[in-house]
Structure 1
Amino acid sequence: MTTYAIGDLQGCHAEFVELLERLDFDPRRDRLWLAGDLVNRGPGSLACLREVRALGEAALTVLGNHDLHLLAVARGGADLNRKDTLDAILTAPDREALLDWLQSRPLLARQGGESDRDTVMTHAGLLPQWSVGQAEALAGEVAARLASENSGAFLERMYGNRPACWRDDLDGIERLRAIVNALTRMRFIDADGCLDFTAKEGLDSAPEGFAPWFQYPRDDAARLLFGHWAALQGGLPGARVRAEALDTGCVWGGSLTALNLDSGERVSVPSRLHR
Structure 2
Amino acid sequence: MANYFVGDIQGCFDELMLLLDKVDFNPSKDCLWAVGDLVARGPGSLETLRFFKSLANSAKVVLGNHDLHLLAIHGKLKRANPKDHLAALLAAEDINNIIDWLRMQPLYQECPEQQLIMTHAGVPPNWDLATLHTEANRVSEILKSKNYLHDLVSEMYTNSVDEYRSSLSPLEKQIYCINALTRMRYLKQDGRLDFDCKSPIQNCNHAELTPWFELESKLPSDYTLVFGHWAAIMGQTNHPNRLALDTGCCWGEHMTLWHLESNQKITQEKLKHVKRS
2:5 alignment partner, SS class: strand
The residue aligned with 1:80 is: 80
1:244 alignment partner, SS class: strand
| Conserved? CA contact 1:76–1:152, under 8 Å | no
The residue aligned with 1:167 is: 165
Residues matched between the structures, number: 270
The residue aligned with 2:139 is: 142
Task: Tell me which of 188, 192, 197 is aligned to 1:199.
Answer: 197
The residue aligned with 2:31 is: 31
The residue aligned with 1:10 is: 10
The residue aligned with 2:234 is: 233
2:17 alignment partner, SS class: helix
CA distance in 2, matches of 1:218, 1:206: 24
Q: How does 1:16-165 map onto structure 2 within 5 Å?
A: 16-75=16-75, 77-112=77-112, 118-153=115-150, 154-165=152-163
Deviation of 1:206 (Å): 5.4
Deviations 1:103-144 (A, max 9, x none): 10000001116xxx7200000001010002211211101001
CA distance in 1, matches of 2:85, 2:174: 27
| Conserved? CA contact 2:3–2:33, under 8 Å | yes
When residues 21 and 225 of structure 1 are mapped into structure 2, their CA distance, relative to the original with a 3 A threshold, is: same
1:265 maps onto 2:264 in alignment: yes
User: Match of 1:79, as an amino acid?
Assistant: R
Deviations 1:11-56 (A, max 9, x none): 0000001001001000011111100000001111111111111111
Structure 2 length as normaliser, TM-score? 0.93
Deviations 1:67-98 (A, max 9, x none): 00000111251222342221111110000010
1:180 maps onto 2:181 in alignment: no
1:266 alignment partner, SS class: strand
User: Match of 1:85, as an amino acid?
Assistant: H
When residues 71 and 102 of structure 1 are mapped into structure 2, their CA distance, relative to the original with a 3 A threshold, is: same
Q: RMSD across aligned C-alpha pairs, in angstroms?
A: 1.6
Query: Percent identical across equivalent pairs?
Result: 40
Deviation of 1:210 (Å): 1.1
2:37 alignment partner, SS class: coil
| Conserved? CA contact 1:253–1:274, under 8 Å | no
User: Match of 1:159, as an amino acid?
Assistant: Y
Deviation of 1:150 (Å): 1.7
2:163 alignment partner, SS class: coil
CA distance in 2, matches of 1:34, 1:170: 31
CA distance in 2, matches of 1:196, 1:152: 26
Query: Structure 2 stretches of 5 or more lacking a match?
Result: none
| Conserved? CA contact 1:75–1:155, under 8 Å | no
CA distance in 2, matches of 1:190, 1:141: 26
CA distance in 1, matches of 2:197, 2:267: 27
The residue aligned with 2:216 is: 217
CA distance in 2, matches of 1:266, 1:77: 38
Deviation of 1:169 (Å): 2.2
Structure 1 length as normaliser, TM-score? 0.94
| Conserved? CA contact 2:135–2:173, under 8 Å | no
When residues 161 and 110 of structure 1 are mapped into structure 2, their CA distance, relative to the original with a 3 A threshold, is: same
| Conserved? CA contact 2:183–2:229, under 8 Å | yes
Q: Which runs of 4+ in 1 moved over 4 A?
A: none
2:255 alignment partner, SS class: strand
Query: Structure 1 stretches of 5 or more lacking a match?
Result: none
CA distance in 1, matches of 2:124, 2:39: 25
CA distance in 2, matches of 1:79, 1:132: 36
